[in-house]
Amino acid sequence: MRIRLLPLAFAICCAGGLSPLVAQSDRPACAQDNAGLTLPAGFCALVFADNIGAARHLAVAPNGDVFAAVRQSRGSSAPPTDFVVLRDSDGDGVADVERRVGSSTGTGIRLVDGYVLFGTDAAILRYPWRAGALEPSGPPDTLVQGLPDCCGHAAKGFAVGLDGDLYVNVGSPSNACQQGRGRQQGVMGQDPCPQLETRAGTWRFAGDRLHQSQADGIHFATGLRNTFALAVHPQSGLLYGVQHGRDQLAQLWPDLYTEEQSAEKPGEEFVQISAGDDFGWPYCYYDPELQRKVLAPEYGGDRSAQGRCADKKAPLMALPAHWAPEALLFYTGSQFPRAYAGGAFVAFHGSWNRAPLPQGGFNVVFIPFRGNEPAGAYQVFADGFRSETAEGGGNHRPAGLAQGPDGSLYVSDDQGGRIYRIVYRGN
């Protein structure tokens, strides 16, 4: 029996005869400085919560409670937490109630049919959750277990299909599947790349079956280096993602690439993912200048040859290199202007590999949609998260996105531990 996905307001509020929750309060007053963000005209922002830890993916219940997955930062002495539940009990737009749940660490979180689904690095857990509660009504079940979690790109982002199935990203542990320990100048790639058997792709699992292993799932798509920015289109049910492209073309292959070329290549790929798709990693990368996939130097590429890459699935759109996409959200609310209806928001963590050009990303972009495809160029929607004077690449880095019941947009930050709420007030 499949889980039937109900409209979120019903699934969390009213399943099992529970009484509906009180709707989230009307749009609160924004911060005078928009919480440091730069937004389009008519939009403003405030800080919903701060200093909660490395906040990753988000979900919002119909009563406005915010669920934030928390990933334990390197070197942190704080005890690990699965996720934090935040409530604004007095309607001023700022969370004043906090509950911490679990003792793992992870990234993905969703609310489905009276459950909270949470993705650790190795498993997908399912907590039972009653309407309006701040804590689970029992211990978690394990839907999926034993996922690869070693040696890099271990975070598990996931999406839930309209039929209740789970789509889970299992990122590659490497940059380009080189022989040896990787990221070494001039070293060729493993061919075939053994990582593709269990990593660098999307797996599909039943949403109502306990204790599934990776072998129990369907290897849905391959050749995706790391794509934990996943979302299902709310009307079509199609799966979309934005993948982290490979790094260090010039550093590893200085005879082929200049530093400037390496800063701009490859494009981060916005993709539609269907069963059986192969997007080409590690053999291929998308060159935004040539507007096609080309053979990676680890596999004999010369900057322009396509070879085996000619038949790999192309992206819908290329986004700037090394911006590091973290979350994807299709907007279904009515608060924002009509131009945003059905479009996609992408949260970018920010780059480290664009020198000698300025580092980029650290923002949220918007991609207009018509039907199942982008209908125009991306535009930076929210900027200003990064302080140019901050050490370590910025004091705020977008990591998660969620839509509130009133159509507000929530953005998490896994460096400063902040959650922003963005609202539209008109011009």
C-alpha–C-alpha distance, residues 410 and 149, integer Å: 28
Domain covering 8-424, topology: Neuraminidase (2.120.10)
**pLDDT the model gives residue 14:** 35
Report whether pLDDT(373) > 90. yes
Mean pLDDT of all residues in 314-320? 98
Virtual torsion, Cα 67, 230, 326, 189, nearest 10 deg: 140
The yes-or-no verdict on residue 392 having pLDDT over 50 is no
Query: What is the overall mean pLDDT for the chain?
Result: 91
DSSP string, 293-337: EEE-GGGT--SS--GGGGGSPPPSEEE-TT--EEEEEE---SSS-
Report pLDDT for 29.
87
Whole-model pTM: value is 0.92
Instruction: Map residue 26 onto helix, strand or coil.
Output: coil
Q: Would you place residue 89 in the very low, low, confident or very high pLDDT band (cuts 50, 70, 90)?
A: very high
Does pLDDT of 51 surpass 50? yes
Give 258-312 pLDDT, tens digit per residue.
999 999 999 999 999 999 999 999 999 999 999 999 999 999 999 999 999 999 9
Coil, strand or helix: which one is 386? coil
Domain boundaries, the chain: 8-424
Instruction: Please give the Cα distance from 63 to 43 (Å, whole number).
Output: 22
